[in-house]
Structure 1
Amino acid sequence: MTPDPNPYSTPEGEHDPVAAFFDDARAQVREEPASDLDWQRIVDASRRTSHRRNRLAMLSSAAVAVIAVFAVFLWQQNGIDNGVQRGEVIAGATDEARTGGPTASPSSVSPQQQPTKVPDSFRTWSVSYAGQSTIYALGQQDCGGDKCPVLLRSNTNGKSWNAVHKFTGTDVSAATGTTDVANIQPQRAVTQVRFATPSVGYVFGGDLWITRDSGGTFTKMSHPGDTVLDVEINQKQAVLLSANNCAQGICNGPVYVSRFDVSASGVSGTTAQVTPSSSIRTGNISVQSGNVIVQLTASDSDKSIAPMRLDDDKLTSLKAPSVCAGSNLQAVTPVTNVSTELDLFGLCDPQRSGADHTAYTIVRSSDAGRSWQKVARGTLILPRLGQVWLAAADSNHLVASAGGPRETGGVPAPNGDDSLMVSDNGGQGFAAVKAPKGSELPATGFDWVASAGGPYFFAVPRTTHGFWMTTSFDGPWTVVDPRH
């Protein structure tokens, strides 16, 4: 078979416009005789073209090298966090700050949100009184098929509420339980709220965020330590408790105590540092009149860590009086309605009372914990439900509670009866708070109780939609449900 002299031609009877184009182009090519001079010209032109290409290649290679160096510089400065630059406004709180030491600057911002109606799924986690009839509540709401933290604000002492900020991208894995919620949360968690003024406040629970516009926007703050344990504020001076080497509700590393001003954009220095003798599952601080009390709870219920007072840049253990029979002080709390010397109440020498209750000895210090006096023995009896809390508004009005975290160290009580107790005589006697009409005491007790200054007391069950509150020292108490 003779091959087709034109391999691009089409079979007879068929028209191919592409083949026709090339046929026409070839038909216009004219053969010209070539001399030795013509070939020399072609070679010279080729060499000149090659030189130009080499120079272009060298310039291109240099440009690529400059771009590579610049890319490395950007990586060193900003990392490779999906293109988000430091300080850039992002939608929600989806990134994670490295806080093994103070981070260089706040790493993200949760942008402005407009107030909305309180979601029906809201459940209270934490409460803070900000003054001027303003109360903030942090809790959870349904976010699609998940849960997420949301901040509420009331400018009417709890009579009406709005949702002002929802946090996305946080870690709620250890925050949404209804029976046992760890006090020490993962690094990206947000579970607690503290406000210094109606406009300036903090949310924390692993992470630490600040708002300066009443919860409209939040900025993540740098701080010592990997995990935030507690924040407390008094007279516009804030104190941070943080720790390293924390996982699954337990910390095994050093603990840091840091003072900072509420106008600061980050917590840049560490005031004091201590490594506990055993791992801890709870860390709390109390701040009053410039004094700071630190309390750490060992993860092993058979061990006990003495509370500490911050003296300049060191932590001094508070020695319990002899009436405590060798036990450490616990639930130490300052009297809030004072402005001079630190006046403290505390509990010690827990004794079983019946099958599932515990009786305590109450002690008091008028010199910041340097010396203690017995108040009463056995007048405070609480159900065995978990951690014990004590709050004092003045020298007469005390509130005590039992609840979470729920390490009981014995047979737990079957219900929350008598889990909220009040005293109007400085701890000489206590009476149980009765549930308001239409309500009942939470079955698992209260996770936190505090004196907010003046006659205000708050008690948060953390397992219900609302929280408990009194505006007149020891009662009557009301249940505040922000949804209504």
Structure 2
Amino acid sequence: MTNHRDPIEDWLSRDVEVMAPPPGSFQRVRRRARRRKAMQAASAAAGVAVIVAAGISVPVLTGNLFAGTGPARVRTGAPTAGTHTPPRPSATSRPTPSASHRSFPGPALADAGHGQAAPPGFRPVSVTFVGNRGGYLGAVLGQAPCRGHTCTAMAGTATYGRAWTGVGAPPAGPSAVSQVRFADPANGWAYGPALWATHDGGKTWRSIGTHGGYVLDLAAVGNHAFAVIGHGGAGCGASSTALCNRFTLMSAAVTSDTWAPVPSGSGSGHEVAGGLQLTPRGGYLLAGGRLYAGPLTAGAWRAVPAAASGTPSCPTSPGADDVRLIAPGRGTLYLACGSVAGSRNLSLYASGDGGRTWQARGSGPVTAGAATSLAVSPGGTLVLATTTGLYYSSAAGSWRKAAGGSANDVAFRYIGMTTAKLGVAVPANPAPGDLFVTTDGGRTWQARPISR
């Protein structure tokens, strides 16, 4: 019979005499093992950050700058882009809290101005301001270099942009975010396409399930928050929300993480960020070629019936390149219609009855770029962000280009007014630290650096 015994095994099975090591060998082994373990841990952490950051394109943000809140702490398995059809959100969105859903503590928004400086190289993508004891607190969501990669970062200000300090940010990981909104100094959300919530001013954040949908828009006023969830359609995904062909309006109390569908607040078509606007008296949603309106309470939202004549055609028959912006003022709803191709001249309309009838208010400014964001100050001044600068109109008639030095001819993605005098604008491609602020109602704008 052939002997199949492995010669290596035979050699290893022999008895050997163990020789004593030279003096000091054990101590040297222990020291090297400790160094090797530390290097392996650092390499593993860096590797996780590379994988997560590489999988998501800017300005959708990942990771976190504060210790203990890196991407490795985030649950995997979040939705990714593809050709599947996400299910319609269920009656309620009830997350199951766990350690993997939560962030680790960071500075609170209420402590803005008293903590660590905002990280160097901070690039803002979204900003929000809320009232606080006679003043205003602002939070900006952005990205900053960290550990050789790009991480989610947040900064806060108590001086309307004159000074910024770090604020705790969600460890977005594979469920990324690109926008931030706060209802008050404690309750806020980071979203688009995922949803994270904080109820302690940013100290901690928790991931909120959206049941296969993607958050397109979110707004809050008083004790009420509303979110537009996109879903359905081939190609609808986290990185391709423009392909979602259905929407559902959800609501929640600002202190709650339980979201429920708004009665009659769903339909076919797409909603572009900014189409959801809230006032203390009610809300508006421009989506799927229709204007919806409803109360802030649990009542139904309904499509606004259009008058037989005088109704602008742009909301009901939008083209692929059309611009449709709404902005509620004090007793007046404004609508701007235009195109990103050909003529850059906007048509402006105003409604005093919630969108049932409209009156033409002339044209917007003739620009070399496209309009991106429209807002109305409490004093009635309209401000407009475009891809070639900022504009203002005191009477919704004639428009003037705002003076701003470095703001001239810059492309902007967002503009908003906190008071009749104070406002903020976010560049589309910000240089590190650039955010623009007005203190005279939109006539002039100054850059306010976030990181020094």
Rounded Cα–Cα distance in structure 2 between residues aligned with 1:216 and 1:392: 32
1:306 aligns with 2:290: yes
In the alignment, which of 355, 360, 364 is matched to residue 369 of structure 1? 355
Give how far 1:395 is off.
6.3
Cα deviations by residue, 1:121-161 (Å, 9 ceiling, x for unpaired): 21010010021221110001113343221111112221111
Rounded Cα–Cα distance in structure 1 between residues aligned with 2:375 and 2:367: 15
TM-score, reference length from structure 2: 0.68
**Any conservation in 2 of the 1:422–1:432 contact (CA below 8 Å)?**
yes
Partner in structure 1 of residue 201 of structure 2: 214
1:141 aligns with 2:144: yes
Rounded Cα–Cα distance in structure 2 between residues aligned with 1:263 and 1:151: 21
1:428 aligns with 2:397: yes
When residues 17 and 126 of structure 1 are mapped into structure 2, their CA distance, relative to the original with a 3 A threshold, is closer
Partner in structure 1 of residue 247 of structure 2: 255
Partner in structure 2 of residue 175 of structure 1: none
1:112 aligns with 2:98: no
Partner in structure 2 of residue 474 of structure 1: 442
Rounded Cα–Cα distance in structure 2 between residues aligned with 1:346 and 1:189: 31
Q: Which sections of structure 1, spanning at least 5 residues, go unmatched? A: 1-15, 19-88, 172-187, 298-304, 404-415
Cα deviations by residue, 1:195-219 (Å, 9 ceiling, x for unpaired): 1112221111112112222211111
Partner in structure 1 of residue 427 of structure 2: 461
Give how far 1:471 is off.
2.9
When residues 320 and 400 of structure 1 are mapped into structure 2, their CA distance, relative to the original with a 3 A threshold, is farther
**Any conservation in 1 of the 2:125–2:426 contact (CA below 8 Å)?**
yes
Identity %: 20
When residues 307 and 359 of structure 1 are mapped into structure 2, their CA distance, relative to the original with a 3 A threshold, is same
When residues 371 and 356 of structure 1 are mapped into structure 2, their CA distance, relative to the original with a 3 A threshold, is closer
Cα deviations by residue, 1:439-473 (Å, 9 ceiling, x for unpaired): 24354x21112223443322211311322221332
When residues 169 and 370 of structure 1 are mapped into structure 2, their CA distance, relative to the original with a 3 A threshold, is closer
Give how far 1:384 is off.
2.9
Give how far 1:314 is off.
3.9
Give how far 1:321 is off.
8.0
Partner in structure 2 of residue 265 of structure 1: 257
Give how far 1:168 is off.
3.6
In the alignment, which of 354, 360, 363 is matched to residue 346 of structure 2? 360
When residues 256 and 212 of structure 1 are mapped into structure 2, their CA distance, relative to the original with a 3 A threshold, is same
When residues 233 and 145 of structure 1 are mapped into structure 2, their CA distance, relative to the original with a 3 A threshold, is same
When residues 368 and 325 of structure 1 are mapped into structure 2, their CA distance, relative to the original with a 3 A threshold, is closer
**Any conservation in 1 of the 2:214–2:241 contact (CA below 8 Å)?**
no
Rounded Cα–Cα distance in structure 2 between residues aligned with 1:318 and 1:441: 40
Read off the aligned partner of 1:463 and give its amino acid letter.
N
Cα deviations by residue, 1:370-403 (Å, 9 ceiling, x for unpaired): 221222x234323334x53211114630001224
357-366 or 309-318: bigger deviation? 309-318
When residues 212 and 320 of structure 1 are mapped into structure 2, their CA distance, relative to the original with a 3 A threshold, is same
**Any conservation in 2 of the 1:457–1:469 contact (CA below 8 Å)?**
yes
Read off the aligned partner of 2:335 and give its amino acid letter.
G
Q: Could you say which structure has the larger radius of gyration?
A: 1
Q: Which runs of 4+ in 1 moved over 4 A?
A: 89-93, 96-100, 279-283, 320-325
The 5 A counterparts of 1:365-404 are 365-375=351-361, 377-385=362-370, 388-394=372-378, 396-403=380-387
Give how far 1:237 is off.
1.6
When residues 321 and 194 of structure 1 are mapped into structure 2, their CA distance, relative to the original with a 3 A threshold, is farther
When residues 431 and 204 of structure 1 are mapped into structure 2, their CA distance, relative to the original with a 3 A threshold, is same
When residues 128 and 287 of structure 1 are mapped into structure 2, their CA distance, relative to the original with a 3 A threshold, is same
Q: Which sections of structure 2, spanning at least 5 residues, go unmatched? A: 1-14, 18-67, 80-86, 108-114, 317-323
SS in 2 for 1:332: strand
TM-score, reference length from structure 1: 0.64
Rounded Cα–Cα distance in structure 1 between residues aligned with 2:123 and 2:307: 38
Rounded Cα–Cα distance in structure 2 between residues aligned with 1:124 and 1:221: 23
1:128 aligns with 2:113: no
Rounded Cα–Cα distance in structure 2 between residues aligned with 1:320 and 1:380: 27
Q: CA RMSD in A?
A: 3.1
In the alignment, which of 266, 270, 284 is matched to residue 275 of structure 2? 284
Rounded Cα–Cα distance in structure 1 between residues aligned with 2:78 and 2:364: 47
When residues 476 and 384 of structure 1 are mapped into structure 2, their CA distance, relative to the original with a 3 A threshold, is closer
Rounded Cα–Cα distance in structure 2 between residues aligned with 1:192 and 1:321: 38
Rounded Cα–Cα distance in structure 2 between residues aligned with 1:446 and 1:319: 32
Between 1 and 2, higher relative CO (CA 8 Å, sep ≥ 6) is seen in 2
Read off the aligned partner of 1:128 and give its amino acid letter.
T
When residues 325 and 138 of structure 1 are mapped into structure 2, their CA distance, relative to the original with a 3 A threshold, is closer
